[in-house]
Amino acid sequence: MIQNNCILIGLTGGISTGKSTISNIIKEKGYPLIDADKVAREVVKINKPAYIKIIKEFGEEILLENKSINRKELGNIIFKDKLARERLENITHPYIFQEIKDNIDEFSKDNSIIFLDIPLLFEQYRLWKEYDIKFDEIWVVYLDKATQLERLMKRDRITKEEALRKIESQMDIEIKKAKSSKTIDNSGDVRLLEEQIDKLLRKLI
């Protein structure tokens, strides 16, 4: 299946599995990569349509002094209230997914392969289907759970219990691996990562 005259690859992983490192390698190799989290932040910037609707819905109490949205305050609201989260998603999702589609259309004019970096791809898979964004392949950045736990504790300087809570808040990495088209094992060094990525890219060209 070819969408927008290009191959669309979803890139995902688990917390602290090293997806950012893989994203950077892919960009360094000259492939366009759309960061879904970055798009989500862009669409709620000051005076953008989603921003105006969010303020109307939740009030100016969620603003910082510079008038930007206090993401921590808004996060606290939607964490405690499922209906509030749904109201926020109903506002932001159309803008986020339209922006991603526009980016795909733009990149596909000059590129045959496009990557889409989505941390919670499988957790939110229903949405991608709902907004008719189809992946030709999904690559998962993989670490065994013990190494994932160790790296997260070191990275965030947190206890084992805190790290486990963060990991368990996401879909199990083994399930993501089983659902993905391809697996990138990040238990080695950067050289091994590049070798895996090059091998996967050669199969696409």
pLDDT at residue 1 greater than cutoff 80? no
Which residue is it, tokens 């599995």? 17
- Quickly count: other Cβ atoms within 10 Å of residue 15's Cβ: 19
The closest alpha carbon to 20, from 178, 158, 161, 155, belongs to: 155
Return the CATH number of 1-32+111-205, one of 3.40.50.2000, 1.20.58.220, 3.40.190.10, 3.40.50.300.
3.40.50.300
How many residues are recorded in the chain? 205
Q: Decide if 100 contacts 92 (C-beta within 8 A).
A: no
R_g of the chain, CA atoms, integer Å:
18
pLDDT band (50, 70, 90) for residue 151: very high
d(CA 114, CA 6): 7
Q: Return the DSSP state at 10.
A: E
Each residue's pLDDT tens digit, 42-101: 999 999 999 999 999 999 999 999 999 999 999 999 988 999 999 999 999 999 999 999
What local confidence, expressed as pLDDT, does residue 172 receive?
94
What local confidence, expressed as pLDDT, does residue 2 receive?
43
In this prediction, residues 130-136 reach a mean pLDDT of 94
Model pTM above 0.85: yes
